[in-house]
Copies of this chain bind each other. A is one copy, B any other.
Amino acid sequence: MIGSIKNVAITGGTHGNELTGVHLVKHWSKSPEEVSRGSFETELHLANPKANAEVRRYIDHDLNRQFNLKDLNNPDLQGYEQQQAKSLNALLGPKEEPRVDFILDLHTTTANMGMSLIINTDDPLVVGMAFYIKQKMPQATLFFNPSDRIKDNFLTSLGRLNGFLIEVGPIAQGLLNYQVYKDTHTAVMHALDYLEQRNTGQVIDLPTQMDGYQFMEKVALPEGSEGEITAMIHPNLQNKDYQAIKPGDPLFMTLGGETIVYEGTSTVYGAFINEAAYYDQHVGLSFMEKVNIKLTDD
């Protein structure tokens, strides 16, 4: 495994209105020494410049849903982000045999998810990175979402090892917040330090397991007969990401002030609670389950 990482890409602005990653990528382009490490090359990319110029999440489609292999190879998909995904595939991939080993993609959320490390693989190098960052930043939450890299539609799946999203909130779209900027900066530094230590054969003391949350399902906002939103996230649930939701707990409050409760039979945990970007699909939150994430041997 020593020396196995040659090329690392840091991407910002995959969603054009999440400015933290955009400004970090611009900052590092001027101060590349901060992201350079001796044993691998680090490259920096603004993933969706047109959406960023318009301070919108996307122009035609969500860029971070365009990277499954079938879509990348489908010449009929010609929306701006679909073309942009193909360009990024040529630049960082190709998906089947990627040039880039690892992609760190920087995101923000309007939900109160703190520093969330979204891990899309159980590969020990990647899981180990998350454990390493959480050791340094105990407030971080591990968001475990293992997927088949070839079918995965996230930008990070273009890397040889299915990568890693750093998702920080709460922050409104279209602005910067120093704490969010600094925490994201710090997490990236730890990620690069970890890769450097792995690459150069240093012994890294990591636990063999850590707690995290695994995605279960998206939960729709209640709708009326014409498909219009008829309820909001309940005030008791707002900002309560990663906290237990038990049967009978309030989920939504209707425009008229009536409470709608969780009618499931098992305890779940919320994430992406009241994320602005999901209003177009009328998604109110995600249900997660608590899981124990194992760090296997290489």
Number of identical protomers: 2
Partner of A274, one of B175, B228, B274: B175
Known: A175-B274, A178-B253, A253-B178. A279 touches B170 (CB 8 A): no
Q: Which chain B residues border A44 with CB–CB below 8 Å?
A: none
**Minimum Cβ distance to chain B for residue A298 (Å):** 37
Q: Which chain B residues border A171 with CB–CB below 8 Å?
A: 172
**Minimum Cβ distance to chain B for residue A110 (Å):** 4
Count, chain A residues at interface, CB 8 A: 37
Q: Pick 5 A–B contacts, CB within 8 A, sort by A.
A: A27-B256, A55-B279, A110-B175, A172-B172, A178-B235
Q: Which chain B residues border A257 with CB–CB below 8 Å?
A: 182
Q: Which residues of A contact B (CB under 8 A)?
A: 19, 23, 26-27, 31, 55-56, 110, 170-179, 181-182, 228-229, 232-235, 238, 253, 255-257, 274-277, 279-280
* A229 lies within 8 A of B176 (CB): yes
Which residue, A177, A179, A238, A257, has most C-beta atoms of chain B within 10 A? A177
Nearest B residue to A26, CB-CB: B228
A55, B196: Cα distance in complex, Å: 42
Known: A177-B238, A238-B177, A280-B55. A229 touches B23 (CB 8 A): yes
7 closest pairs, A vs B, by CB? Answer: A172-B172, A174-B276, A110-B172, A175-B276, A176-B232, A178-B235, A178-B232
